[in-house]
Amino acid sequence: MSKLSYILRVIALSILFGGSSTIIFAAITLVKAAEAKGVPAAQAAAANVPIFFGFSTIALVCAIILLAAESMDFAKRKQAGAMTKARWATSLLSVAATMVLAFGIIPPMKELIPMMKDNEQAHADFKKLHEASRGVFSAIILFALASLILPAFDSKRENNPS
């Protein structure tokens, strides 16, 4: 693995894993703190929506960088071991989950926000998307972490930068 692809890969995965974990932790903490002060959970959660929207853009950029880094590594190798193939797979799953978030969940959520006050169906649809986003964030976190740690289990250490 070239140093450039290694550096890009590690930075992108770190942001996908750490950023997604932090966003979830912060949102839960902020909602609980608001509820403790008497703010309804739905209102507190709605205040967090811009954070998710902003992070989805950052995550998308990181996913594209990760895809480029893994593609550079793939193109450079003549053959790959099982751990490298597993790393590529988990990286691709992380990229896919990020794209589902950025293109499949966030845009419809943005469209529904202005309609939620007056439209119960819009509110219900938003809630469904919010529930789906939990699973997608979980997938991003899980696959990014797996891709980060898989090289440590490679007996040949073929994934280290040269």
pLDDT in tens, 46-59: 788 889 999 999 99
Would you give the DSSP letter of residue 78?
S
Task: Give the pLDDT mean for 16-44.
Answer: 90
Question: 157's torsion region: left (phi>0), alpha (psi -120 to 50) or beta?
Answer: left
The pTM of the full predicted model, rounded to 2 decimals, is 0.87
Name the residue among 52, 54, 27, 46 with its Cα closest to residue 115: 46
Instruction: Give the integer Cα–Cα distance in Å for 54 and 68.
Output: 22
Check pLDDT > 90 for residue 140: yes
Would you give the DSSP letter of residue 159?
T
3-state helix vs strand vs coil in the chain, percent to 5: 85, 0, 15
Q: What is the pLDDT of residues 96-107, one digit of tens each?
A: 999 999 999 999
Delimit the domains of the chain by residue range: 3-153
Task: Give the pLDDT mean for 115-129.
Answer: 87
Mean confidence (pLDDT) of the chain: 91
What is the reported pLDDT for 22?
95
Check pLDDT > 90 for residue 88: yes
Check pLDDT > 80 for residue 162: no
Structural contact between residues 141 and 17, judged by C-beta atoms closer than 8 angstroms: yes
Check pLDDT > 80 for residue 27: yes
Interhelix angle 82-99/120-149, rounded to 10 degrees, is: 160
What is the reported pLDDT for 158?
53
